[in-house]
């Protein structure tokens, strides 16, 4: 299943973001710490490189991600030119309060009282950007919701006399290039439900958990996972939770939703859907070999 989701308002949001980029100093890109590269919008990179703007990568929801994977991602991003990275939870006000200082390091020419540091916050839907914004300005200025694409318009706010920040709508891109990225985004609720089939996404998620976090899966649902495939895992969840249809067959749809919601809420434990190493393997598998010609 190829997942694509690009609501109409995002076209105008992209255009407005490109215009605003010319007058800011630092881009803050909010990512989901559980899938940092899959939740990286290539349009954000394109826009900021065009304007030669540095970027602070904020790996949000770090409290839900595998700590070792997060350390690897921080090293990965910190090795990139013009990029710094920090992992945090937008619900932790103390961690969020450090963001302007991190941005200041990326724009040392703004480290005085003559001109304020102008930041711009960007990211895909449902990575916690609105919660982060509310914590930064210390008041509720952005609507928070569990559905993607809650914020629809761009707004500028003063954090202090030295710092301003422009909030932007959650922005997807027109074509998700890699199928596994679409599935990770869907599992993490970054795309609208009208763009996905829950059962297919849940089978993908169950397979990934079997491969990387079988102990967490077994601990959460109370059954041995050895010898099971992804479909059988979901059927076992249905049985354990009493999610049965008439006649006693497992309700695959309801069990799929339970698995995805437990992952989203962190009830399975601290899980990362990708690491720099698994990302490299995925990208290598996508490379197409050049066609060969039979010389005979």
Dig out the tokens for 177 from the structure. Answer: 């290039």
* pLDDT value, residue 10: 57
Dig out the tokens for 9 from the structure. Answer: 């308002």
Residue with tokens 């069990």: 255
Does domain 13-167 fall under CATH 3.40.50.300? My reply is yes
pLDDT tens per residue across span 141-167: 765 544 444 455 678 888 988 899 999
Q: How would you class 89 by CB atoms within 10 Å of its CB: exposed for 0-12, middle for 13-18, buried for 19 or more?
A: buried
Residue with tokens 């350390």: 71
Between CA 133 and CA 90 the distance in angstroms is: 9
Can you give the residue ranges of every domain in the chain? 13-167, 197-285
Task: Provide the sign of the torsion angle of the four alpha carbons 38, 39, 43, 48, taken in this order.
Answer: negative
* pLDDT value, residue 290: 52
Between CA 296 and CA 289 the distance in angstroms is: 20
* pLDDT value, residue 139: 82
The reply to whether the predicted model has a pTM over 0.85 is yes
* pLDDT value, residue 11: 64
* pLDDT value, residue 295: 40
The low-confidence residues of the chain, meaning pLDDT below 70, are 1-13, 142-153, 192-196, 287-296
**CATH number for region 197-285:** 1.10.1580.10
pLDDT tens per residue across span 227-260: 999 999 999 999 999 999 999 999 999 999 999 9
């Amino acid at each position: 299943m190829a997942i694509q989701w690009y609501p109409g308002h995002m076209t105008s949001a992209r255009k407005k973001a490109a215009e605003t980029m010319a007058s800011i100093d630092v881009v803050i890109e909010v990512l989901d710490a559980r899938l940092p590269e899959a939740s990286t919008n290539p349009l954000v990179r394109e826009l900021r490189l065009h304007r030669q703007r540095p970027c602070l990568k904020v790996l949000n929801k770090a409290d839900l991600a595998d700590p070792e994977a997060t350390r690897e991602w921080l090293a990965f991003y910190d090795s990139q030119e013009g990029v710094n990275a920090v992992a945090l939870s937008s619900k932790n006000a103390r961690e969020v309060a450090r963001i302007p200082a991190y941005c200041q390091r990326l724009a040392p020419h703004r480290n005085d009282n003559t001109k304020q540091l102008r930041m711009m916050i960007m990211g895909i839907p449902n990575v916690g950007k609105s919660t982060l914004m509310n914590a930064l300005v210390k008041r509720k200025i952005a609507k928070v919701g569990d559905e993607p694409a809650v914020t629809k318009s761009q707004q500028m706010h003063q954090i202090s006399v030295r710092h301003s920040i422009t909030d932007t709508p959650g922005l997807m891109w027109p074509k998700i290039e890699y199928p596994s990225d679409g599935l990770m985004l869907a599992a993490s609720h970054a795309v609208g439900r009208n763009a996905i089939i829950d059962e297919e996404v849940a089978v993908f998620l169950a397979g990934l958990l079997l491969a990387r976090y079988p102990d967490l899966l077994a601990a959460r649902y109370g059954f041995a996972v050895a010898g099971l495939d992804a479909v059988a895992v979901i059927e076992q969840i249905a049985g354990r939770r009493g999610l049965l249809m008439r006649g006693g067959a497992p309700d695959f749809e309801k069990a799929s939703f339970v698995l995805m919601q437990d992952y989203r809420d962190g009830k399975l434990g601290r899980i990362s859907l990708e690491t720099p190493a698994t990302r490299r393997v995925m990208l290598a598998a996508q490379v197409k070999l050049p066609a060969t010609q039979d010389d005979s």
